[in-house]
Amino acid sequence: MNKAVFLDRDGVVNASVVRAGKPYPPANAEEMVLLPGVVEAVAKLRAAGYLCIVATNQPDIGRGTTPLATVQTIHDAIQSRAPMDAFYMCPHGGSEGCHCRKPEPGMLLDAAKAHQIDLHTSFMVGDRWRDIEAGQRAGVRTLFVDYGYDEKQPVGYDWRVNSLAEAADIILSLSQN
């Protein structure tokens, strides 16, 4: 069985665009900026045997405001600089009732099945309550990157961190025990 670190995209891997205290995805690949330390954190996690899997809600696709091709271009830009093992993406809005939109655990469970992942040895790193709740529902340990967004906050996460780099250090220290 494999172990994984599931990563939210916007706010964990790349910078969110924050407007009025709320985070939004970059509009295109040119606007996408990797956060400091992401390349190194992903490399260290992968070298330690963790699969790095992006699990991201992208409801603007379903709303028709962002083309799927634009999201794929952003994923390609991330992949070229911080290679991931897989990208899972939910294009649905909150009212569509799908199994994949976080806080539902569908993306994590689908990835676990496809990549033979042991969820009990895996982690979710996210910057919003939906990420943390999806991780909890999937049975992984959770790390909350706290930006102080003006929205509902997660409850019951395992660690509060300032970045993916800090999250990676915690994960790697635990794997040495």
DSSP 11: T
**Count of residues making up the chain:** 177
Residue 16 burial class via C-beta count within 10 angstroms: exposed 0-12, middle 13-18, buried 19 and up: buried
Among 110, 41, 49, 48, CA closest to 78: 41
Structure tokens, 102:
């976080």
Question: Which residues have a catalytic role annotated?
Answer: 8, 10
